[in-house]
Amino acid sequence: MIQVTRKDGKESAENLLRRFNRKVQQSGAIAVVKGGQYFEKPISKRERRLKAIIRTERKSIKLKKIKLGQR
């Protein structure tokens, strides 16, 4: 549970809300909730590893093309 209290009695609501949002973002609570938003079929460790390898290869190819000005 994330709690934020006013630093002093004069702190505005906008500043309080901004500090709260920053703490929520840093805690990673939003990422956890969004991660469980949709059901994913459980896949094997081998499949997950292969998909990660393919993803990194595609990303490197894409970056090379951007650097060469082909895209």
Q: Convert the pLDDT of each residue in 6-60 to its tens digit.
A: 888 888 999 999 999 999 999 998 988 898 888 878 899 999 999 999 999 999 9
Evaluate if residue 71 carries a pLDDT over 80.
Answer: no
Enumerate the domain spans of the chain: 1-40, 41-71
CB 63 within 8 A of CB 71: no
Q: What is the pLDDT of residue 3?
A: 86
H/E stretch holding 61 reads helix 45-68
Task: Note the pTM of the prediction, 2 decimals.
Answer: 0.50
